[in-house]
Structure 1
Amino acid sequence: MKHHEEFNIPIPADEGGMIGRQCPRCARKFEIEEETYLDQGYTNLRCPYCELIAELDAYFTEEQIEYVYGVTQEQGRRIMEEVIESTLGEVPEVKGDFIEFTHNFDDVDLGTVGAESPHLSIEMDTIECDECGFRYAVEEGRTGVCPVCR
C-alpha cells in the first residue's frame, strides 16, 4: 500500500516580523524583514557579512532545518496513525475456532517529537538601510551591507 501526501511547512517570522537567514558560504546568521522582502518580490539575498549573492532558499538556518525536521516527524506520525486506524480498524482476537475483532485503533497515539523554535537564539542589532529603507539584523556588535541593495 502506498500513501502519498504533500504539505508545506511555513517558517514563521518572529514577533518583530523578522526571519532568520544563514549564509551558505560564511555560515554567519542574520535576519531580514520577511514581509517587505516578499512584498518587494526580491529573488535573491546578499549576505551582509561576506556579500555572497544567492537565492533565498540557500539561506536556511540550522534552527529552521531542525524545525522542519520536527514538524515533518510530527506529520509522519499523524499519517501513520491514520493509516493504522483506517487499514487495520480492529485487531482480530483468536477465540477457540473463530476470530473475533474486539479492539479498535481510534485512540492510536505514536507519541510526539515536538518542533524546536525556528528563530535565532543569538542577540541581533536591527539596521535600516539608508539607501532603500530595508530592515535587517546582524549579529550584535557587527556591521554588514544591506541584503537587498546592489
Structure 2
Amino acid sequence: MWNKRGIRMPESAEVVSHHGDEFQIDVSMPLDEDGYLGRQCPECSMSFRMNGEDYKALLDKLELWCVYCGQHQAHSEFMTDQQRERMLRAAGDLGTQIVSQALGDVFRGFSRGSSHPSSVSLSISYKEKPYYPRPLPGIDEERLARVRTCAGCQVRYAVFDEHRFCPVCGLLPAVLVAFDALQAETARLNALNAVPNEAKAVLREQGVYTRSWVDTIENVVGVVEGLASSVFKAAVTDAADRLRGKGNVFQRLDDMADLFVATGYGDVRGILGPESWQRLVETWAARHVFTHNDGIVDEKYLRKVPTSSAQVGRRLVISEASCRRAVEDSTSLCTALAELTVGY
C-alpha cells in the first residue's frame, strides 16, 4: 500500500508513523493453522506457541516467560527466526525506497555548471523507477505437539518439550510439573513399544530398553521427592526447622511419610494401602541399587524387599511391566501428597 511519502509496502506491512528520519512500521504475523503464534526464547532459542486470541488480549507492555528455561523479558524479544526474517524483509523494502527517494532528491537539485578549460567534464545520470516489493516470506512451523491451558491465567499455549513455566504467570505449580513428568515416563515407554521390530532387536541388544527402564525407576523417585518437598515447605511454616539435620528425607519413603504425620497431616501409607506402599518401597530400593551400586543387589535391598528372589552380588533385573506399575503407584502417591494438606 502507499503512504503519504509514496512508499509502497508489501501486503501485511504498513508504515504507521513518520517523524523526520524515524519510521514506524507494523508487520502482521500470520498464525499457524491452529490459530497459534510462534514465540522463541532469546536465551535458550527453544520455541513455543501462544493462542492468537489470548495473545492479542494481553497488555502491549506484557513481559513473557520462556516456558522451558524461565527467561523473563518483553514479549517483543520472543520473535521467532521466521518472524524476524519477515520483519527484516519489510524493513529492507522501506530502506530501499528511502534511499531511492533520497538519491532522487539529490539529482533533482544537481546542476551541471561550467567546466574549466583545463579539466575534463564527466556526467552521471540517475533515473527513478517504481519500486514493487516482493511478498513477505510466510511462516511455516511444525504442527502443535501439546496444548496446555494455564490454570491460573487461562492462557492457552503449546509446548514441544518438558517445561516448567507458563508464558504469562511464570513458574508452574509443583503438582502440575510432577504429573507432567510422570506422563512423560509413560509416553517414553509407549514410544519404545512403537519402534519397528527390526530396530527393537538392535536396541535391546545394546541395552537401550533396560537403560530406559532404569531411568524410569530413577525418575519417578525424583518426581515424588520434588513434589513432597514442595508440598511440605508450602504447608508447614516452620519447615526449615523441622528439616534441619534430616538430610534428604523426601527421598526416603517411610521417613517422608513419618515427617508429614509428625507435622499433623495424614499418613499417605494408609491412604494408598499396604500393597501399593510395598510396591513403592521396592521401587525405591531398586532405584538405590541402580543409582549407587550399578544394579548389584546388596543386603540393604534384601532387607527392604524380603520376598525378592534376588541374591547378593547379582544384578537386579527389572521389566517394562514393573516400570509401568512404578509410574502408576507414583502417580497415586503424588495425588495423595497433593491432597494431603487440603483443608488444613
Q: Same fold (TM over 0.5)?
A: yes
User: Which TM-score bucket, shorter chain as reference?
Assistant: 0.5 to 0.7
Q: What is the aligned partner in structure 2 of residue 53 from structure 1? A: 72
SS of 1:26's partner is: coil
SS of aligned partner of 1:65? helix
> Structure 2 counterpart of 1:39, which letter?
A
Q: Does 1:129 align with 2:150?
A: yes
Percent identity between the two aligned chains: 23
1:76 alignment partner in structure 2: 95
Equivalenced residue count is 135
Q: Is the 8 A contact 2:66 2:167 kept in 1?
A: yes
Query: 1:56 Cα deviation (Å)?
Result: 1.1
Does 1:4 find its partner at 2:24? no
**Of residues 54, 57, 64 in structure 2, which corresponds to 1:39?**
57
The 2-side partners of 1:82 and 1:64 are apart by 28
> Could you tell me how far 1:77 is from its partner in structure 2?
2.1
Match of 1:138 in 2: 159
**Of 139, 148, 168, the match for 1:148:** 168
Deviations 1:70-114 (A, max 9, x none): 11111122223434445545x99xxxxxxxxxx9946x0466455
Post-superposition offset of 1:27: 0.8
Q: Which has the higher strand share?
A: 1
Structure 2 partner of 1:98: none
RMSD in angstroms over aligned alpha carbons? Answer: 3.3
Query: Could you list the per-position Cα deviations for residues 98-142 of structure 1 after superposition, in whole angstroms to 9, with x for gaps in the alignment?
Result: xxxxx9946x0466455322x352232332223332111222xx3
Higher relative contact order (CA 8 A, sep 6+): 1
User: Which structure 1 residue ranges, 4+ long, deviate > 6 Å from structure 2?
Assistant: none
Shift of 1:34: 4.0
Unaligned runs of 5+ in 2: 1-19, 112-124, 171-344
Q: Distance in 2 between matches of 1:123 and 1:52?
A: 24
Query: How do 1:95-114 and structure 2 match up within 5 A?
Result: 105=127, 108-109=129-130, 112=133, 114=135
Q: Give the counterpart of 2:43 among 16, 22, 25.
A: 25
Q: Is contact 2:64–2:74 with CA below 8 Å preserved after alignment? A: yes
Quick check: 1:20–1:120 contact (8 Å CA) kept in 2?
no
State the AA in 2 paired with 1:40. L
Asked whether the equivalents of residues 22 and 30 of structure 1 are also in contact (C-alpha less than 8 Å), the reply is: yes
TM-score (norm 1): 0.67
Q: Secondary structure at the match of 2:76?
A: helix
Instruction: Give 1:23 deviation, angstroms.
Output: 0.9
